[in-house]
Amino acid sequence: MYDSSSHFAATYTPFTPEFSFGARSPAELEEWQTAFRPRLRQILGLDNLAADLAGHQPSAELRATEDMGDYIRESWHIWVEPTVPLPFYLLRPLAVNEPVPLVIIPHGHNHPHIYVGIARTDKEAVEIAEGERDIGVQAVREGYIAIAPTTRAFGETRTEKDRAADKIHSCQIQLRHGLLAGRTPIGERVWDMGCLIDWACATQPVDPGRIAMTGNSGGGTVTVFASACDTRIALAMPGCYFCTFAGSIGSINHCDCNYVPGILRLGEMYDVAGLIAPRPFNAISGRTDPIFPIDQVELAYGKLREVYAVAGVEEQCRLYIGDGGHRYYKDGAWPFVREFFTR
């Protein structure tokens, strides 16, 4: 009888990924990255986005400001496309006397406001407390400027029908329409992160040499791909995402937004993350995470360490395993950022 799991697993094995890492020197590593990064950008649809939006200059509008006692929280919109006013929160310390690090914090499959500590229901309050999901608040209390954007297809960027039905996201319809235009959900989200970095560096007292990105689950997805594509991101810290494609989204029924056509023909997730080297990388994982199994996380981490070893900075590639499931682990995050941003 036909066994779908066996068939799907078999489709990953007949070919050798074009950019499977095999460099043996820093020079070969640089050549590999130089060849791989443009191809990754291409299949994400970033080249199409850049061409289609060549005449567009993103602008931002402040909507509200709140004094939170020990920091300021602002609500903004940025027009990442003429038809997409993307909401984001900006959290900043009360006094910034010199340029400080910027931390961009894309969220996962939950509501954007959770990442800045706003709970609109009892359930959200539990998610924030037990899952340490108020990552923007954590960042600003470290003394950093934090941007917590709406992930495209969530919040105000859901379809009108999904907003009316209060569905969490519109990822499937985003994927369908994007594929017709040569785009992917991940590509659009990476594009949005680039627009936010441009805006922050031009308008905020941030140190452009100390830009970090971290987010959990779907926010970890954006962190890996954005950091692989955009070398301005100086430190990458994906939460509960870094794994293997085959062993995570390739083995379960996951959200449509995770899938990039043909990605495994270019490389596995550890190859994509290899484009981040030699910049500091810290994978935060949950020991009992059922979506991104820890054995596959450790396999991917071992492969990525090989890239960092060739780069001569093996100590800048880390794995933190929290004793729990699919959530954020702040104890594994901020000591790492401090280590590299206070040197």
Query: 3-state SS of 128-184?
Result: HHHHCCCHHHHHHHCCCEEEEECCCCEHHHCCHHHHHCCCCECHHHHHHHHHHCCCC
The amino acid that residue 91 corresponds to is L
Encoded amino acid at 283, one letter: A
pLDDT band per the 50, 70, 90 thresholds, residue 284: very high
Predicted local confidence at residue 342, as pLDDT: 86
Long-range contacts, stretch 60-66, CB < 8 angstroms, 24+ apart: 60/199, 60/203, 61/85
Q: Which residues pair with 90 in a beta bridge?
A: 74, 147
Is the confidence at residue 343, as pLDDT, over 60?
Answer: no
Q: SS3 string of 270-283?
A: HHHHHCCCCCCEEE
Are 76 and 59 in contact by the 8 Å Cβ rule? The answer is no
Q: Given a cut of 90, is residue 323 above it in pLDDT?
A: yes
pLDDT tier at 12, thresholds 50, 70, 90: very high
Domain boundaries, the chain: 19-341
Collapsing DSSP to helix, strand or coil, 86 comes out as strand
Residue with tokens 């020990």: 70
Report the predicted TM-score, pTM, of the whole model to 2 decimal places: 0.96
pLDDT at 98: 92
Per-residue pLDDT tens digits for 176-194: 999 999 999 999 999 999 9
Q: Is the pLDDT reported for residue 40 higher than 70? A: yes
Question: Quick check: 97 pLDDT over 90?
Answer: no
Mean pLDDT across 260-271: 97
Q: What three-state secondary structure class fits 309?
A: helix
pLDDT average, residue stretch 204-211? 97
Is residue 47 pLDDT above 60, yes or no?
Answer: yes
Confidence class for position 313, pLDDT limits 50, 70, 90: very high
Specify the CATH superfamily of domain 19-341: Alpha/Beta hydrolase fold, catalytic domain (3.40.50.1820)
With contact defined as beta carbons under 8 Å apart, do 132 and 330 qualify? yes
Query: Cα separation of 116 and 145, whole Å?
Result: 12
